Amino acid sequence: MLEKFTEKAINVVSTAQKCANDMHSAKIVSEHLLLALFIEAKGIAQKIFKMYDITCEALHKEVTESLNIDKNISTEETTPVFSDHLKELLKNALDLANKSGNPSILYEHLFLAVINDRKSNNVRILEKLGFDVVKSKILLEKLVQKKTKRLYHPEFDENREIEANSSEKTDAIFDSEESSRVFERAVAKLSASNYEILGTEQIISSILEDKDSELAHILAGYGITAEEFETKLANIQSRQSEYENRQIIFTPNAFRTMNLALQTAKELGSSVVLPEHIVLGVLKAKKGIAYDILKEMHINDDDVAHSIIKPIEKQMPETLTILRLAKEEARRLGRNIVGTEMFLLGIIGEASGLGAEVLNELEINIKDARKEVEQLIGFGNEYFDTEIIFTKRAKRVLEKAWELAKADNKTRIGSEHMLLALTYEPSCLAMKALEQLGVDAVEIKEGINIQKRLAASNIS
């Protein structure tokens, strides 16, 4: 179910876990979720709480008293688990999302599920603090309806699209020789630490062991050295930061980090996952023992990430430029969603790649393409307060481009791979725009083959 949660909603659930842990509760209950909703409140949700002068201290006091009454406090040092009632409440949030037409569970759906819940003490706690449940419910429902309309995109229909098994995707991480060596060293550390499941701490420790690498030098500039990392690691007595609700070959947070590393590699135009992408994955995940250690070193996530990405940007991978331009095109139309149509505009805008040359030969220009895209999706106004996200179809195109680059034995994803990948999604908006401009998949494939032959003859 968590794959349907937005980042804000996931943060609420994670904060509820932390609240339960801090309060030594044996289970994560709905009262912890209420407290987490207050802590993570932003924008209108925050204004709703402020409207009734509710403070964190007052709410925490009421929740603590409620949990004491229900005897949920445990003195044992155990990792809290989700209560059956909380699982039911999260399912209710999913039902609310489905009924409102949202493809994802928003923060507001969790809030509505909590104030609709009559089985817990949450409503009583809120009303005791002067909270108007009925009035707030109306405000939240209107906000959900507004977000439903704003999130709409012709390609953004998650209910129709099959989600690939992400556990299979992580296999590609081992295709890179550099990353393979990192994991070989990391696995070797398992027996020494008496662990059977690979965590982020072993992975980062192994990356830092390669002291001669450019990445190690970049990290050392922020005080992140193998020696300092091992010292911090030795002081950690528990792997609690690594576990959530399942155990696999990677710890859950390591698994999430690896998926983020894979995604980052693609977004940076690489057809292989390098140690740099893994470190960026740790910084994006913001969870796990490795990240906890980095926080103890008082580093700035953005500064470290920028230092790692800067050398990659100097190489100017075409895909990195295409994705940047695609995001700019989305913002130009007031959109926070990047679909395949934005990839098309990005390929044309990049101008110097083989993909752009193919489209130029087919007499496709940025002005005409923009006009077709505008007619397909129209203008919005949501980008300014929301992070840019990709449609699942756009992600599939990026995945296919990755596969095509690997099949060509290329270390980078080229614009020709991005363009060819679009033809594997015949009903996508990019292909619809091209069809309106008089170009079909056969012409694109033939154009790419011609340009490849020309490029090969120029080299020889």
Residue 144: exposure state from Cβ atoms within 10 A (0-12, 13-18, ≥19): buried
Judge: domain 318-459, CATH 1.10.1780.10.
yes
Helix (H, G, I), strand (E, B) or coil at 334: coil
Domain ranges of the chain: 2-151, 167-314, 318-459
**Residue where the block lists tokens 């994802």:** 104
CATH code linked to domain 2-151: 1.10.1780.10
Same-fold call for 2-151 versus 318-459: yes
Residues counted in the chain: 460
- C-alpha dist (Å) from residue 280 to 175, 225, 244, 275: 18, 16, 21, 9
Taking residue 68's Cβ as centre, other Cβ atoms within 10 Å add up to 11
Whether the CB-CB separation of 356 and 367 falls below 8 Å is answered with no
Judge: domain 167-314, CATH 1.10.569.10.
no
Token representation of residue 237: 């007595």
Task: For residues 204 and 209, give the distance between their C-alpha atoms in angstroms, rounded to a whole number.
Answer: 9
The reported pTM is: 0.48
Task: For residues 232 and 215, give the distance between their C-alpha atoms in angstroms, rounded to a whole number.
Answer: 20
Task: For residues 387 and 34, give the distance between their C-alpha atoms in angstroms, rounded to a whole number.
Answer: 25
For 17-47, b/e burial (b = at least 16 CB within 10 A) is bbbbbebebbbbbbbbbbbbbbbbbeeebee
User: Tens place of pLDDT for every residue, the chain, 460 residues?
Assistant: 566 787 778 889 999 999 999 898 889 999 999 999 999 988 778 889 999 999 999 999 999 998 874 444 444 556 788 999 999 999 999 998 888 766 678 888 999 999 999 888 999 999 999 999 999 999 888 777 655 544 567 776 544 444 444 444 555 555 566 776 776 676 666 555 555 566 788 888 888 988 888 898 999 999 999 999 888 887 765 555 554 444 335 677 888 888 888 888 877 777 778 889 999 999 998 988 899 999 999 889 888 998 988 887 666 578 888 998 999 898 888 788 899 999 999 999 999 899 999 999 998 999 899 989 988 887 765 544 456 888 989 989 998 998 999 899 888 889 999 999 999 999 999 999 999 888 999 999 999 999 888 887 876 5
